Amino acid sequence: MTPPESTTGGADTVPRLKAAVIGAGMLGLDLAERLDASPVLSCELVAGRQSSASALRRAAQLGCEVSTEGITAVARAGVDMVFDASSAEAHPAHWAALASADVLLVDLTPSSGGSMLTPTVNAVRAESDRHLSLVSCGGQAVLPVLDAIAKNSERVEDVEVVTTVASASVGPATRDALDEYLAITGYAVERLTGATWAKVLATISPALPAPVFRAQIAACAYGIRPDALVGAVEAAATAVREYAPGFEVSALSVADGLVRATVTVTARGGRLPSYAGNVEIINAAAVTLAERYARSREVGHGE
C-alpha cells in the first residue's frame, strides 16, 4: 500500500488516510463530501453499480475516482478504510472480500456483523476493532440518551423506540432492509444499555413539508436518579453536537419509573436537505469514529 499523504500543520499533523465508499446514494455521496472535508481522511474512490452511473458522476465532481465495479474496484484500490453504504444484504460479502486485508471496514448498513459503536458510548473500540457497525440512524440517535439512562438507574427493563423519517431521505436499499433496521437497532439497544427487552418501530413519512428526523424513546427503569439523569442527558446531547450540530433532546420526562424522551436531528451541513437528519447522524458518527482510528494509528506509529 502506498504511504498515505500527510496534512500540514506542525505537531498535530497526522496521516491523511485513504478511504473508499461503497454506494452512491444520498448516504454515499454525503460521506464522500465529509471525508474530503476531514483533516485526516480523504475520499479516493466511490464505487457503485452500473445503475448508479448518474450518482457516480456527482461523486466525480467532488474529485473522487469512481467505479461501477463495486467491491471488486474497492478490493484493488489500496485504501486504508472502506465505508459500506450499500445494503444489509450485500455487506457480508463485502466483509468477506476485505477480511484478510489491512483495512478498516465501517458498516453503515443494518447488518448484524461488526462491533456496534456510537461515538459517545464506546468510541474507544474504534482504535482496535477493524469491523465497525454503526447499527442504524435510529441507533445513533437514541443510544447516547439510553446510555445516560442506563448509567443513572439501577437497571433498564423495557425500551420502546419509534423513529419517523422523511420518505425523501430513505433510499431503496433502506426500504428493502426495514426488517433488518428494526432488528439490529433493538439488538444494539439491548446490548449497549443492558435492557432486558427492546422494541423498535419506524415510520417513513411522505408528508410535505418533509418532517425532520425524530426518535421517541420510552424506557422502564428501576432506581432512577432523576436529577443526575437530566444532567447526564444534557451532557450526552452536548457531546453528540460536537459532530452532529443538529442533534437535540427536545423533550425529557421522568415519572414512576418511566423515562420518555424525544430526539430530533436536523441536517445542517453540506448538500443535505434539513430533513435528512437520519443521514447526518450516521455519517457524522462514522467519520468521527474513523478519524479516531486514524489518530490512534498515528500515535501507535510514533511510539
Active site residues: 137
CA 277, distance to chain mean position in Å, is: 11
Dist. CA 20–CA 292, nearest whole Å: 17
Q: Are the C-beta atoms of 281 and 141 separated by less than 8 Å?
A: yes
What separation in angstroms does the CA of 161 have from each of 196, 197, 248?
14, 11, 16
What per-residue string of b and e applies to 263-299 under the rule 16 or more CB within 10 Å gives b? bbbbbeeeebeebbbbbbbbbbbbbbbbbbbbbebee
Q: What amino acid is encoded at 177 in this protein? A: A
